[in-house]
Structures are given as C-alpha cells and as structure tokens.
Amino acid sequence: MKHRGRYFLLFAFMTGFFVLAEGQETSYFPGFQSYMAVNPAFTGSGADGSLRISYMNFYPGNHYNFHTGYLSYDSYFDILHGGAGFFISNDYLGGILNDLRGGMSYSYFLQAGRELFINAGLSASFYHRGYNFGDAVFPDQIDAMGRVSLPPSEIIENANATAFDAGTGFVFIYRNLTGSFAVSHLTRPGLSISSEGKERLDRKLSISLMGDVFIGRQKRFLLRPIASFELQGDFLAAAAGADLSDDALAANLVFIYNSNKNLNLQAGFSFRKERLAVYYNYRFNVSSHNTFMPFSLLHQTGIILSLNKVEKRIKFRTINLPVM
C-alpha cells in the first residue's frame, strides 16, 4: 500500500489528459465569475471595482489532486471610456501538469442607440504550461507483484512552454437582454512538450445570452434565464438554466451538456452583504457514456469584494453577472 499515492498520481495524470482532451484546457464553463478571462468585453461592466477570488476542486473525493485558483480585478474608468482589469489563474493537475495563465483586458463602452449598448473588449495574456514528471510512475515501472522499480525505461524531460495569447469579444445589451460572443486564443499558443512545438490550442468560440425578469409588484426578485455555448476544436458544450436573486440571496441551477455525451447539473447559492458576496457551486454528473466518469465533478467556492464605488451617473448599462 505504500505505493498507493503513486498509483493515484499516475491515474490523475492520465485522467488529467482526458480532461484536457475535451477542450484542450481546463474549462470552467459556464463560469460567469471568471468570464473576463474568456470574454474581455465584460471587463468593468459591473461599474464598481470588484476583486474576485475563487477556488475549484475537480473530481473531489477521488484523490486526483486537481485544483484551480482564480483571481481578478476589474472596474470602470471614466478616463478610458470603459473598463480595465487583470486576471490570473493556476490549474494544478495532479502535481504533474500545471497551467498558469494571466493577463490584462480592456473594454470600450458605446451607447449605440437609445436602449442599445455595446461593449468591445480585447485581452493580452501569457499561457504557461509546466510539467513535472519527477514523482510520476509509468506502466513499465510496475511489475506483476505491484512493485515499482525506478527509473523508468524511458526518461521524459520536464519540457515547459510559455506563449503569448490574445482574445477579443463583444457584449450587446438591449432592454432586459444581454448577449455576448468572444473568441479566445487568437494566437493559438503552442504548449507542446515536444521540441517541434506543433501542438497548439484551438481557438475557442463562446456565446452567452441572459435576460432579466423581475417578479412581483415590488420587483423584489430577479429571475435571470441563462444560455451558454462553447466550441473549441471538436469539443462542444452547451448550458441552460436560471438564476433567482434578491438583494441579499441568490440561487442558481444550470444543466450542461457536451459533445462527449455527458449531461451534468450544477447548483449553487450566494449571499451578499454590502460590499462582500460569498458563493458556492456544486456540479455532478447526471448521465454519461463513460463508465469511469465520477459522480462529483466540481466544488467551487469564492468571494466577490467591491473595493471602490464608481459614480452612478455613468452613461452605460451595468451588468450583474450570475454568481456561478
């Protein structure tokens, strides 16, 4: 049993590549609280300067050791006629694979009509993929008795790669409807561990649509239907659900389906008090053609902290993103 941790590490590494193969990278889809990294047009759309910190644990309870941390700050700046901010994320996959991303984004706000508002955004970032095979155990090292022999017959070097990345996007707001689309990885950054460097991230197309429906005579509750779509290479994912909120509490429910025939369900809640909001989301697998797919897929928790207030007489429509 002393090699049990190494076996888990090997399985985590293999499963990690399966996860990445779905979309070539770790996906937080629909992930509206990290959407600035996907669509820079959302930068500063909430007006107030907001610090967002979130933590995600993938496949919890299975010892796969897949974790992601995300941090961002964005705000509206009158001198820029739009929003600006930065983001950084770290995907830690089993101790063998690590994706570090960070960058800055800007969004220009335009009032195109009496009730039509358009945000156009652009982001510039870096994408670093690191490998550490020092503690990995490969199949040729395990004998019939389950013992591990070191070193393996084939030595794999820790060939890390760093590349420049860019993205662009638009947000359209008309009355109570908000639509967006974005294209990520415009430069198709190369993150191959081979010397040839031919493996590149495919461009990602992201589309979302939201609506605001107030409930009750006093319009105390806000129901927000949500639909999202994501396409990267041959991988396609679609999500549909809703978010219900008042001034202090919110709850959300969203179904997610992808081209690997996985149907997932995510549910969550949030609590807001003055400048601080705390949220939690849980995602599990409803059905899958893959018998190895775990039931628990994701735990996500985070905080949103308003660091500075922006003058409310600004000439654009603010967007209150769902806390998911």
Domain assignment present for residue 316? The answer is no
Domain assignment present for residue 104? The answer is yes
What residue numbers bound the domain in which 232 lies? 4-308
With contact defined as beta carbons under 8 Å apart, do 192 and 199 qualify? yes
User: What's the structural domain count of the chain?
Assistant: 1
Domain assignment present for residue 315? The answer is no
Domain assignment present for residue 321? The answer is no
Alpha carbons 311 and 109: distance in angstroms, whole number: 15
Domain assignment present for residue 314? The answer is no
pLDDT tens string, the chain, 324 residues long: the values are: 444 444 444 444 444 444 444 446 777 778 888 888 899 999 999 888 999 999 999 888 777 788 999 999 999 998 999 999 999 999 987 777 889 999 999 999 999 998 999 999 999 999 998 877 665 555 554 555 555 455 555 555 557 888 999 999 999 999 999 999 999 999 999 876 554 545 788 999 999 999 999 988 888 899 999 999 999 989 999 999 999 999 899 999 999 999 989 999 999 999 999 899 999 999 999 999 877 788 889 999 999 999 988 876 677 788 888 887
Assign 9 to helix, strand or coil.
Answer: helix
Identify the CATH number of the domain in which residue 186 sits: 2.40.160.40
Domain assignment present for residue 285? The answer is yes
Domain assignment present for residue 318? The answer is no
Structure tokens at 54: 């979130």
Domain assignment present for residue 241? The answer is yes
